Amino acid sequence: MAQEPATAKPLTREQAQKLLYQMVLIRKFEEMSAEMYTKTKIRGFLHLYIGEEAVAVGVMQSLGTEDNVLCTYREHGHALVRGLDPKIIMAEMYGKQEGCSRGRGGSMHLFDAKTRFYGGNAIVAGHLAMAVGMALADKKMKRNGLTCCFFGEGAIAEGAFHEAMNLAALWQVPVLFVCENNFYAMGTALRYTHAQTDLTLKGAAYGIASAAVDGMDLLAVMQAADTASDTVRNTGKPYLLVCNTYRFRAHSMFDAELYREKSEVEEWKKRDPIPGFYNYLMLQQLLTADDFKAMEIQAENEVQEAVDFAETCSWEPVEELTKYTYSENAS
Amino acid sequence: MPDNLITYRECIKQAIREALLGDERVFMMGEDVGRYGGAFAVSKNLLQEFGPERIMDTPLSEAGFVGAGIGAALGGMRPIVEIMTVNFSLLALDQIANNAATLLHMSGGQFNVPLVIRMSAGIGRQLAAQHSHSWEPLFAHLPGLRVLSAGTHEDARYMLAPALLDPDPVIIFEYTSLLNLENKLPENTGSIDISKAKVRREGKDISIITYGTGVYKSLEAATELAASGIDAEVVDLRILRPLDEETIIASVAETHRALIVEDASKSVSISSEVSARIMERCFYELDAPVKRLCGAEVPIPYPKHLEDAAVPQPAQIVSSIKNILQHA
Ligand SMILES: Cc1ncc(C[n+]2csc(CCOP(=O)(O)OP(=O)(O)O)c2C)c(N)n1
């Protein structure tokens, strides 16, 4: 099933293949993560993004290096697209000190100052107001960046969401709120958590420009994200972009998935963003089957290298247990 | 399962089931308690058995549904509110501290709040800093609350019923790391007294005073100490507010030594309070200074070796006690 070209700018072969590669890399990276979890190399909670790749890949294209990014605990894909080396992500998930958060955070807490990647936040809706504050700082310091904050639709039920939206609108700060609506907050479906299920109205209620997009369609997400980021950059005001998507896997590795029918999952899998974009590129003659095979091998190698690296990394000495509780240069 | 062994998870579930069967005013609400079966499968199939009026899935709105629990209690219901884990309880702390804990007093005794809030707690599953909090001391700080800690299968099974009979708000801490653990329930425990601590093991040489995940760890340590001829008593506080001072003092007056064990970080903790009470009440009974083994003063790190190092382990309890007795 080919996707309709939604974007105005035609893609070059190189751009097109890079986009597809980013989605493939996330997919392979997460499949490997699941395997390493069953091998108990990765512990704690592991939340997979499989099925939702087009959202992170699509939105991230509209961001620049001066922008800030905040995510939830389901953030491996965002970290990869943002440019974190798969090696330091995998090392983090192993809990090794070469990891991007020195192994302190694990899967749910990927951080990277170099790419302005502010987590990896595991209290639902806890990072939304922080995003507002980061945008406020940019505004006060007269910097150009915007702050992009990803969260699930479950977060919209929290008071913290509404406070953050109001503050962002009231203070007119450049935040791009990206709601990754995968229709389930753990086992609770959207219709059981929200009386108003049109999520764009939640932004509109605060006077925030809001739009929804098919989050399984990479090009559509890219175009919507471009419009959204341009609006934020041009007006300095917040924007709410709702990406409708679906997670193909369980909520975390502890989930028996009692709350949804297998057939529903299968139905959504027909809209898998990777074959969708693949078919489109084939139709546009921007990709060959051999290109794709090579791409898959390259991604597999990159992921294998990440695992090999994580294996050779070291554990932080236990003597350093209380390190990073306070800044080292604090008085 | 071999005869009468039961998991900690099943204990909690049976307690909830019994409560729902026993009183029509009882209902339970919380995130994913119904269709999902409970984040930790504690309430699996209860929705099917009792229906959505009595097993209510809530949105992610901790402040909202805890506040609604308080309101429903004022309105004559007997809600059991489940906060998925203690880590999310701070979103509802205003409701707990400013409404549940104060209404009776502020209203001059007119409005009591018969509400039970259950939450799973504790570290030990490599969930890192935001999901590994030991916040029992935070809640134990608040007058107006009764704070219970179910460190054993017995308490997981039998604390809920008396908590629901309490006219005032009760917080029950349950421990995720114990969920799969099997144990026997003591015979003839129809109900328990939620004003009393409990001596889990009698001994004459030293009192290990603890709660929560510290209970089984301390019992394990006591067994090991017995092999070295040291007879340790294990006192399970289990009621963190109001503290049962009498049981603590009686134990220390017998053993003349005390080690307090908890996962929460040391500063301003339950052990700070217990230690102070011992000093106030029976300083002259002591043959050695009171010692404490507590959590390290650090947000909890993800890797196993650091997580283990962040809270007391049985081996440390053993060596601390040997130390105390040598210096006695
Ligand atoms: C404040 C808070 N409450 C509860 C949880 C437990 N929890 C973790 S993820 C989750 C579901 C969140 O769903 P959603 O926001 O839609 O994001 P998704 O996981 O679907 O990506 C819940 C209930 C939490 N982490 N934080």
Q: Are B113 and B73 in contact (CB under 8 A)?
A: yes
Rounded to whole angstroms, how far apart are CA atoms B45 and B33? 10
Cβ pair A252, A46 in contact under 8 A: yes
Local confidence pLDDT in tens for the 331 residues of chain A = 344 445 467 999 999 999 999 999 999 999 999 999 999 999 999 999 999 999 999 999 999 999 999 999 999 999 999 999 999 999 999 999 999 999 999 999 999 999 999 999 999 999 999 999 999 999 999 999 999 999 999 999 999 999 999 999 999 999 999 999 999 999 999 999 999 999 999 999 999 999 999 999 999 999 999 999 999 999 999 999 999 999 999 999 888 899 999 999 999 999 999 999 999 999 999 999 999 999 999 999 999 999 999 999 999 999 999 999 999 987 6
3-state helix/strand/coil string of chain A: CCCCCCCCCCCCHHHHHHHHHHHHHHHHHHHHHHHHHHCCCCCCCCCCCCCCHHHHHHHHCCCCCCCEEEEECCCHHHHHHHCCCHHHHHHHHHCCCCCCCCCCCCCCCCCECCCCEEEEECCCCCCHHHHHHHHHHHHHCCCCCCEEEEEEHHHHHCHHHHHHHHHHHHHCCCEEEEEEECCEECCEEHHHHCCCCCCHHHHHCCCCEEEEEECCCHHHHHHHHHHHHHHHHHHCCCEEEEEECCCCCCCCCCCCCCCCCHHHHHHHHCCCHHHHHHHHHHHCCCCCHHHHHHHHHHHHHHHHHHHHHHHHCCCCCHHHCCCCCCCCCCC
The Cα-based distances of B296 to B219, B245, B281 in angstroms read 21, 26, 28
Joined together, the tokens standing for residue A153 give 């639709």
CB A206 within 8 A of CB A165: yes
Instruction: Give the rounded percent of residues in chain B with a pLDDT score beyond 70.
Output: 98
pLDDT at B216 over 70: yes
In 10 A of CB A102, how many CB atoms? 21
**How many residues comprise chain B?**
328
Residue B2 in this model has a pLDDT that exceeds 70: no
Ligand 1 atom index nearest CA of B130: 25
Indicate the CATH number for domain B6-183: 3.40.50.970
**Which domains can be identified in chain A, with CATH numbers?**
13-309 (3.40.50.970)
User: Which sign does the torsion angle of CA B255, B259, B262, B263 carry?
Assistant: negative
pLDDT given at position A330:
72
| C-beta contacts of B219-227 below 8 A and 24+ residues apart | B220/B314, B221/B314, B221/B315, B221/B317, B221/B318, B221/B321, B224/B314, B224/B318, B225/B318, B225/B321, B225/B322
Identify residues of A whose CB sits under 8 angstroms from chain B CBs: 43-45, 95-96, 103-106, 108-109, 121-126, 154-155, 157-160, 185-189, 192-194, 254-256, 258-259, 315-316, 318, 321-322, 325
- B272: closest CA of chain A, how far (Å): 20
Of the CA atoms within 13 Å of residue B219, those in its CB half-sphere come to: 14
Whether the bond between B143 and the residue before it is cis, its omega within 30 degrees of 0, is no
CA-closest candidate to residue A187, choices A124, A125, A247, A260: A260
Output Rg (C-alpha) for chain A, integer angstroms: 19
How much is the ipTM here?
0.95
Q: In 3D, which of B242, B245, B250 has the Cα closest to residue B233?
A: B250
CB A272 near ligand 1, within 6 Å? no
Asked if the domains at B6-183 and B198-326 fall in one CATH topology, the answer is: yes
* pLDDT level of residue B4 (50, 70, 90 thresholds): confident
In angstroms, the CA A218 to CA A64 distance is: 18
Distance CA A118, CA A72 (A): 10
Give the mean model confidence (pLDDT) for residues B115-142: 97
The upper half-sphere exposure of residue B54, i.e. CA atoms within 13 Å in the direction of its Cβ, equals: 19
- Which one of A124, A163, A246, A249 would you pick to mutate in the ligand 1 pocket, going by the greatest count of ligand atoms within 8 A of its CB? A124
CA-based nearest residue to A312, from A75, A34, A87: A87
Nearest CA in chain A to B304: A95
User: What's the pLDDT at A245?
Assistant: 98
So what's the pLDDT on residue A8?
60
Q: What pLDDT is stored for residue B328 in this prediction?
A: 53
Contacts of B244 (CB under 8 A, 6+ apart): B195, B196, B197, B237
The single-letter DSSP state of residue B190 is: -
For B23-63, the three-class secondary structure string (H helix, E strand, C coil) is CCCEEEEECCCCCCCCCCCCCCCHHHHHCCCCEEECCCCHH
CA distance B159 to A61: 54
- Residue A192 and residue B37: Cβ atoms within 8 Å? no
**Domain ranges across chain B:** 6-183, 198-326
User: Token digits for A287?
Assistant: 């990709």
pLDDT digits (tens, 9 = 90+) for B229-252: 999 999 999 999 999 999 999 999
Residue in A with minimal Cα distance to B296: A322
pLDDT at B3 over 90: no
Percent pLDDT > 90 in chain B is: 96
pLDDT, residue A279, reads: 98
Asked whether the beta carbons of residue A322 and residue B302 sit closer than 8 angstroms, the reply is no
Residue A254: list chain B partners with CB under 8 A: 39
| Mean pLDDT taken over chain B | 96
Burial label for B75, CB within 10 Å (0-12, 13-18, 19+), is exposed
Contact A31, A302 (CB under 8 A): no
Looking at residue B1, what is its pLDDT?
A: 46
Beta strand B170-175 pairing with B116-121: parallel
> Which of B229, B97, B225 lies closest to B169 in space, CA to CA?
B97
- Using alpha carbons only, what angle is made at residue B219 by residues B217 and B223, rounded to the nearest 5 degrees? 120
At A67-87, the pLDDT tens digits run 999 999 999 999 999 999 999
Name chain A contacts of B302, Cβ cutoff 8 Å.
Answer: 43-44, 95, 103-106, 109
Residue A26 to residue A247: CA distance in whole angstroms = 13
Task: Judge contact between A37 and A311, C-beta under 8 A.
Answer: no
- Asked if B68 contacts B75 with a C-beta cutoff of 8 angstroms, the reply is no
Bond into A120 cis (ω within 30): yes
CATH 3.40.50.920 describes domain B198-326:
yes
Q: In chain B, which residue's Cα lies nearest the Cα of A187?
A: B36
Q: Is B283 helix (H, G, I), strand (E, B) or coil?
A: helix
Indicate if B133 belongs to the active site.
no
pLDDT tier, B327 (very low <50, low <70, confident <90, very high otherwise): low
The end-to-end CA distance of chain A, in Å, is: 62
Beta carbons of A242 and A225 less than 8 angstroms apart: no
Report how many helices (DSSP H) and strands (DSSP E) chain B contains, helices first.
13, 14
Confidence of residue B187 (pLDDT cuts 50, 70, 90): confident
